[in-house]
Amino acid sequence: MAFDGEPVLSGVDLMVARGEVVVLLGPSGCGKSTLLRAVAGLEQPLAGRVLWDGEDLTDMPTHQRGFGLVFQDHALFGHRDVAGNVAFGLRVAGLAAEARAHRVARSLALVGLEGFEGRRVDTLSGGEAQRVALARSLAAAPRLLMLDEPLGSLDRSLRERLTAELGVLLRRLGLAALHVTHDHDEAFALADRIAVLGAGRIDRIGTPDEVWDDPGTVHAARCLGHENLVGLDDAGRCALGRLGSGPGIVLLRSDSLSVGAPGEGVSAVVAATSRRSGRMVAHVLVGDLEVRVPVDESIHGVRVGDPVGLVMGHDAVVPLSS
């Protein structure tokens, strides 16, 4: 894929299995939407192919591919009611009125909007509008469902609730799904596999545990929400000691770090505390290196200024490539 001669994506190789939810994770502008649009047939790739069960769809028009696409802005038709929106593709496909109404009711039930047929779309909440957009895609019984940051415009608490609901729904439908987001929490909540996209290529792909434990690149580690990326000098050293054989960046996995009593592990001082989803995080200083460490408050609390020990598990240090 290229715009103005500049390639946006290259060498992307991605497979989605039946019933599998693959999440494409990456920052804004990295080419996520372009990739979805290429799979959907809305953009024509300069090179590469789109295959389904071995069949080459690269030259097939969008509407014949049997793929559903849900956008961030929902793209609902404001002048139609909910039923009119959900039925839109079915009418285009020439389905008879009775079959259409049946399919609309079933799709609305799937997303928990039974009886919404007659509602005007401009009276819907953001979450309801999102679910109508999802119902519209599901009505056409797609073999692959693609969701392009479908929850991006909603506020955080609603987004978290809908993410959980969407996960349950995708599992129940057993559909192949390709879900795009820049939010690592959303990716971990939904994915069977996560593909981290950066600079037009897939940096890392694997199960949530695989990519979290070993992100591979600095970019992927940041996208996945890792916070402790530590630079090493020519001798592989940093304030924590020798963590590698030469210069580079390593990741300290927060799940392998803990705060101990002074004297345990490496001497550190608590510089600040914060919370992630309610769980306390201590920002400890070792020399001038800040490391963020989850705190198990059922064992002990920490306060700013406390001297503590930074305890690192045997698998805490993960080398990264640039």
28 binds ligand ADP (CB under 6 A): yes
Separation between Cα atoms, residue 43 and residue 129, nearest integer Å: 26
CB 181 within 8 A of CB 149: yes
Residue 226 binding: pick among ligand ADP, Mg ion, none (C-beta 5-8 Å cut-off by kind)? none
Pick from 178, 235, 33: nearest CA to 243: 235
Q: Burial of 249 by CB count in 10 Å (0-12 exposed, 13-18 middle, 19+ buried)?
A: middle
Using CB under 5 A as the criterion, which residues of the chain lie in contact with Mg ion when the complex forms? 33
CB 162 within 8 A of CB 128: no
What are the structure tokens assigned to 123, written together? 């009276």
User: What is the nearest approach in angstroms of ligand ADP to the Cβ of residue 26?
Assistant: 6
HSE of 144, CA atoms in CB hemisphere, 13 A: 21
113 three-class SS: coil
169 binds ligand ADP (CB under 6 A): no
Q: Which is nearer to ligand ADP, 107 or 181 (CB)?
A: 181
Q: Site residues for ligand ADP, window 200-219 (CB under 6 A)? A: none
Query: Which of 12, 25, 26, 252 is in the footprint of ligand ADP by CB under 6 A?
Result: 26
Pick from 271, 262, 265, 263: nearest CA to 308: 262
Q: Which is nearer to ligand ADP, 8 or 266 (CB)?
A: 8
Residue 107 binding: pick among ligand ADP, Mg ion, none (C-beta 5-8 Å cut-off by kind)? none
CB 162 within 8 A of CB 154: yes
181 binds ligand ADP (CB under 6 A): no
73 binds ligand ADP (CB under 6 A): no
What are the structure tokens assigned to 197, written together? 């996209």
CB 281 within 8 A of CB 275: yes
Separation between Cα atoms, residue 293 and residue 307, nearest integer Å: 14
Query: Which of 34, 72, 107, 228 is in the footprint of ligand ADP by CB under 6 A?
Result: 34
Q: How far is CA 172 from CA 139, 167, 300, in A?
A: 15, 9, 41
150 binds ligand ADP (CB under 6 A): no
Q: Which is nearer to ligand ADP, 16 or 38 (CB)?
A: 38
Q: Which is nearer to ligand ADP, 12 or 87 (CB)?
A: 12
User: What is the nearest approach in angstroms of Mg ion to the Cβ of residue 43?
Assistant: 12
Region near ligand ADP per CB under 6 A, out of 29-37, 88-96, 296-304, 312-320: 29-37
45 binds ligand ADP (CB under 6 A): no
Residues near ligand ADP, by CB under 6 A:
3, 8, 26, 28-34
